[in-house]
Structure formats: C-alpha cells, structure tokens
Amino acid sequence: LVVEKLDSGHVIRVEVHLGTEQFLTYEADGLIISSPTGSTAYSFSARGPVVSPHLQAMILTPISPHMLFDRSLVLEPSETVELRMAEGPPAAVMIDGSRKAIIEPGDLVKCSANHTPARLVTFSTRDFHQILKKKFGLQSKHMGD
C-alpha cells in the first residue's frame, strides 16, 4: 500500500498511528507499507530494508521525507497502522501500482496484516539469499582475495 502526493513540489503530511498511539507526523512525498515479500520492490527503492520473507512483519517506509527522522520501521504484523491525512494537499492511495482512492485532510487509511498467510505456489526450492544476490547483482568476496 502506498500513500503518495499527487502534485510535484508539495509534500504531504501524514499522521502515523501505531495501534492506539500517535507515533509521528511524516512530511514526505509519500509512505509505503509493505510485507517482507514486497520489501525488495518500491520500499527498497525508497531506501527501505530488505526483510526475509520468512519473517512475519510489516514495513513502513517514508518516500523522500522532508524531516530529520527518515528511516523505515519494521513492525509486528499484529500492529494496526493508521494513516491520517493532516492539513495540506490531497494524496493518492495506491495498491499494487493501481490508484484506488484520493484522500483529503482528515481521511484515514487503516492497514493491518491478515491473520491467514497467503500461500504462494513454487515449483522448486528457492533460497532467499541466492535470489537476493542474483536479483541485485551482489558478488561474494572470498577471504584472501
């Protein structure tokens, strides 16, 4: 899920609530909430962490934040994340690259992990670390090289 600005030249202000507590108001081009599987996509491009798909988590990554705290958060999947638009320009809600809604100041988007994990079909054994190395062209250095 992505909440992102509609107009260039303006940041959006999004209040982030974790559970029942307000955490922070981000001033950024947007915010990404991803699963570990999605952590190597848009979240990675926005400097988010690579998270093993074997870990149950949600990742909150700001897009080009205009503030001192510019890091991603790795959250427990049991936490509910609420994004409330603060004063300022509207934003788009995107899911898997498709615009689903336009939100205005005061609007709220709730995000939580499903209690039932998605089952993905695979046709062979897949090693996450080998896939990661291949996908990003990472090379192993041997001792003494």
Please report the beta strands in the chain, taking only residues with DSSP state E, as ranges in sequence order. 2-5, 12-18, 21-28, 30-34, 58-63, 73-75, 81-85, 91-95, 98-103, 108-111
- The full DSSP string for 27-41 is EESEEEEE-TGGGGT
Q: Which of 21, 133, 136, 5 is nearest to 75 (CA)?
A: 21
- Summary count for the chain: helices (H), strands (E): 2, 10
- The per-residue pLDDT for range 90-145, each reduced to its tens digit, is 999 999 889 999 999 999 999 998 877 777 777 777 788 888 888 888 887 766 65
Residue 109 corresponds to which amino acid?
V
- The per-residue pLDDT for range 5-40, each reduced to its tens digit, is 998 889 999 999 999 899 999 999 999 999 998 898
Domain 2-114 part of CATH 3.40.50.150: no
Please give the model's pTM, rounded to 2 decimal places: 0.85
